[in-house]
């Protein structure tokens, strides 16, 4: 017995049909489940040149291999499709309860093609899979739609259903929209929400209750217990967050020091990802004033975004399925300035950075409101923040005028104007309509392309490649460009991949300058990072488990116990390599030239920043580093296209012949 359900649900919204399809065991051995299964299926089944918002595009939802086995931090679900934002591979990933719900219906993944005639939702309880009328829910925000579906179904189903749905942004085909679950947790990136909206699919509702298989549940749980007991003892002193900003300022001057990955667990348990905000402001990691500013432009802003402020209004921690860490939280925001809601999920670092320092916005309260507004609308906060930053900079330079912005004075840090603009983007009203498809489309229409921060059409996550050049490699070499969750040097230092992988270089204390050089070691580091991330995604693991390092979050041991395998780390890293190569092949099939993904000039250090921790930094060897990364993967180092011998070595040629 393995942990796989062995089947997927294939839905055709145009024909109104749903069928269960068996997946050969060799596919799971090759790519696991989650993003791996999605990559294999979408590469095979989406025809070249398919319209991302047309019936041929397939929207996938998948749970990972370890989900439901008892392994901790393995409750992530993934949504994938051909991205309307980039024209190539698109995926987004989210926590909550939806991942186990997929498997409890008896499937590892759900693949949805076609377009429904009128709004529908997919209901599956493990016995039947049906399309129901979603007209009463169309127009509701994601949180209200989820509540309404629960009101309709909770008494009917034996098991409380899990709902993944789009909000108004997805319905209105905003290319920066995502899919939500659990009251506003969102799989936000790549425009997956627009694809769902184009299919007139409001929600997927899952109410299965099947027991989930596992080869050796006792061994899996013993490994989890070891981690659980460690986490129960982890506590940081209250108030420590006030020093994080100073720590960030210091980090700007220190060499790269490999840290114990368990330290990240302390931080995420104490504050969640928002702990990074004040550190990012002072260290150079977080972008300021549309990636053109420095800490001097927002002096002492780290005090505003001190994570202790948010901890004080946290009513309880929020845990995704199978997570003992609880980096999420529910916040009581009632009565705060700019705020019209009573509570919100704790904003992630990305959201705070994108609507705080990036826009020179000093109002933490406004970020609570923006967080809840965007989560309910189902709009990506990273893309939305980058797009608003572009609009403000264009306004600053006179490229946009009040006549074009519906009278909004889009000045830096103008909280009221930022809130109004985001509301307009969600409603696709006036000037907001032009911004609802992201910064690339907006700049093509209005100009100001030099201020449009995107890579291949997708806005970058809130980490600066000038601070961490490995991030720059992944921003452009990743098949879904602009994603910040593939690899960073600080993360590599914490993971100790060399202890599970024979070819992964050890993390050593070294001067930061070395990271900017095009070396074989750097190429292997970036390759190892990408392979491990893909492996984690195939297992359904959480990025924050990954960051704890292989000695704390024992992925290889869990996989062997759950599947009854006895593979070493090298074998598993090859699975990651296979998944990443499949995703790259998807782009090649869809006519996306990997060379067209380029860092914006500003992120290359053109012009260099005048002061601060990134003063004078340029990424002169960035393109050479990307070529070396491609070469390390066995892809053509000039074009980024996987070489035939690599496809053969990874057995992808045989996999693509295996039709379900």
Residues forming the site for another protein (CB under 8 A):
70-72, 97, 100-101, 104, 158-160, 209, 211-212, 217, 220-221, 224-225, 228-229, 231-232, 235, 238, 269, 314-317, 319-324, 326
3-state secondary structure of 104: helix
> In terms of Cα–Cα distance, which of 656, 289, 335 is closest to 464?
289
* Chain centre to alpha carbon of residue 609: 28
User: Closer to another protein at the Cβ: 147 or 595?
Assistant: 147
The CB-of-475 to another protein minimum distance in angstroms stands at 33
User: Closer to another protein at the Cβ: 316 or 509?
Assistant: 316
List, in order, residues 6 or more apart from 142 with CB less than 8 Å away.
Answer: 165, 166, 167, 180, 184, 186, 375, 376, 377, 378
CA–CA separation, 322 and 330 (whole Å): 18
The CB-of-82 to another protein minimum distance in angstroms stands at 31
Count the neighbouring beta carbons within 10 Å of the beta carbon of residue 639: 14
Number of H helices, E strands in the chain: 28, 15
Please report, in angstroms and rounded to a whole number, the separation of the first and last CA atoms in the chain.
20
CA–CA separation, 104 and 191 (whole Å): 27
The CB-of-314 to another protein minimum distance in angstroms stands at 7
User: Closer to another protein at the Cβ: 178 or 272?
Assistant: 272
The CB-of-148 to another protein minimum distance in angstroms stands at 18
Element (H, E) at 93: strand 89-94
Element (H, E) at 314: strand 314-318
CB-facing half-sphere around the CA of 537: CA atoms within 13 A: 30
The CB-of-268 to another protein minimum distance in angstroms stands at 12
User: Closer to another protein at the Cβ: 48 or 209?
Assistant: 209
The CB-of-90 to another protein minimum distance in angstroms stands at 28
Handedness of CA 371, 375, 381, 385 (dihedral sign): negative
User: Closer to another protein at the Cβ: 319 or 571?
Assistant: 319
The CB-of-100 to another protein minimum distance in angstroms stands at 5
User: Closer to another protein at the Cβ: 225 or 551?
Assistant: 225
User: Closer to another protein at the Cβ: 96 or 167?
Assistant: 96
Angle at 491 between CA 486 and CA 494, to 5 degrees: 140
The CB-of-216 to another protein minimum distance in angstroms stands at 13
User: Closer to another protein at the Cβ: 39 or 227?
Assistant: 227
Q: Are 67 and 74 in contact (CB under 8 A)?
A: yes
């Amino acid at each position: 017995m393995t942990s796989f359900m062995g089947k997927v649900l294939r839905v055709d919204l145009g024909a109104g049909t749903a069928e269960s399809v068996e997946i050969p065991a060799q596919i799971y051995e090759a790519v696991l489940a989650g993003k791996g299964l999605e990559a294999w299926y979408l590469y095979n089944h989406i025809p070249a040149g398919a319209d991302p918002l047309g019936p041929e595009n397939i929207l996938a939802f998948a749970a990972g291999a370890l989900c439901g086995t008892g392994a901790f931090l393995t409750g992530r679900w993934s949504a994938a499709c051909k991205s309307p934002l980039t024209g190539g591979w698109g995926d987004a990933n989210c926590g909550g309860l939806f991942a186990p719900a997929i498997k409890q219906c008896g499937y590892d993944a759900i693949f949805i093609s076609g377009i429904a005639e009128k709004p529908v939702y997919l209901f599956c309880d493990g016995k039947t899979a049906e399309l129901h009328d979603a007209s009463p829910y169309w127009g509701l925000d994601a949180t209200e739609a989820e509540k309404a579906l629960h009101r309709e179904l909770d008494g009917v189903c034996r098991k409380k259903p899990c709902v993944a749905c789009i909000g108004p942004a997805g319905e209105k085909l905003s290319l920066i929209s995502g899919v939500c679950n659990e009251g506003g947790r969102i799989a936000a990136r790549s425009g997956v929400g627009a694809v769902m909206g184009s299919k007139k699919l409001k929600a997927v509702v899952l109410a299965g209750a099947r027991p989930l298989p596992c080869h050796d549940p006792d061994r899996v749980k013993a490994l989890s217990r070891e981690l659980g007991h460690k986490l129960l003892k982890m506590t940081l002193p209250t108030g420590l967050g006030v020093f994080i900003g100073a720590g960030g300022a210091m980090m700007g001057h220190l060499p790269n020091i490999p840290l114990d990955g368990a330290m990240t667990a302390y931080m995420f348990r104490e504050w969640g990802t928002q702990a990074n905000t004040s550190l990012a402001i002072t260290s150079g990691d977080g972008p300021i004033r549309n990636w053109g500013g420095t800490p001097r432009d927002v002096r002492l802003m780290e005090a505003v975004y001190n994570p202790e402020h948010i901890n004080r209004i946290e009513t309880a921690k929020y845990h995704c399925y199978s997570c003992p860490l609880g980096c999420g939280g529910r916040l009581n925001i009632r009565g705060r300035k700019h705020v019209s809601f009573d509570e919100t999920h704790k904003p992630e670092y990305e959201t705070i950075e994108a609507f705080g320092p990036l826009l020179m916005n000093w109002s933490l309260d406004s970020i609570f409101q923006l967080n809840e507004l965007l989560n309910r609308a189902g709009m990506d906060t990273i893309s939305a923040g980058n797009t608003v930053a572009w609009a403000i900079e264009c306004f600053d330079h006179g490229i946009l005028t009040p006549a074009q912005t519906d009278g909004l004075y889009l000045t830096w840090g103008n909280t009221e104007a930022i809130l109004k603009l985001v509301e307009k983007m969600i409603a696709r009203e006036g000037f907001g309509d032009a911004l609802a498809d992201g910064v690339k489309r907006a700049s093509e229409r209005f100009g100001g392309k030099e201020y449009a921060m995107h890579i291949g059409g997708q806005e970058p996550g809130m980490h600066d490649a000038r601070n961490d050049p490995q991030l720059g490699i992944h921003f452009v070499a990743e098949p879904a460009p602009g994603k910040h969750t593939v690899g960073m040097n600080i993360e590599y230092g914490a993971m100790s991949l060399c202890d599970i992988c024979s070819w992964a270089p050890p993390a050593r204390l070294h001067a930061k300058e070395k990271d900017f050089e095009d070396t074989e070691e750097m190429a292997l580091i970036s390759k190892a990072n990408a392979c491990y991330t893909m492996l984690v995604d195939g297992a359904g693991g959480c990025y924050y488990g990954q960051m704890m390092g292989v000695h704390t979050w024992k992925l290889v041991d869990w996989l062997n116990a759950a599947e009854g395998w006895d593979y070493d780390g090298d074998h598993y890293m090859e699975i990651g390599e296979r998944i990443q190569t499949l995703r790259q092949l998807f782009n090649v099939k869809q006519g996306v030239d990997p060379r067209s993904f380029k860092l914006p000039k500003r992120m290359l250090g053109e012009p260099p920043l005048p002061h601060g921790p990134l003063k004078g930094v340029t990424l002169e060897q960035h393109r050479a580093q990307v070529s070396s990364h491609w070469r390390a993967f066995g892809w053509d180092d000039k074009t980024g296209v996987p070489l035939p011998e690599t496809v053969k070595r990874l057995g992808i040629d045989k996999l693509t012949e295996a039709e379900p």
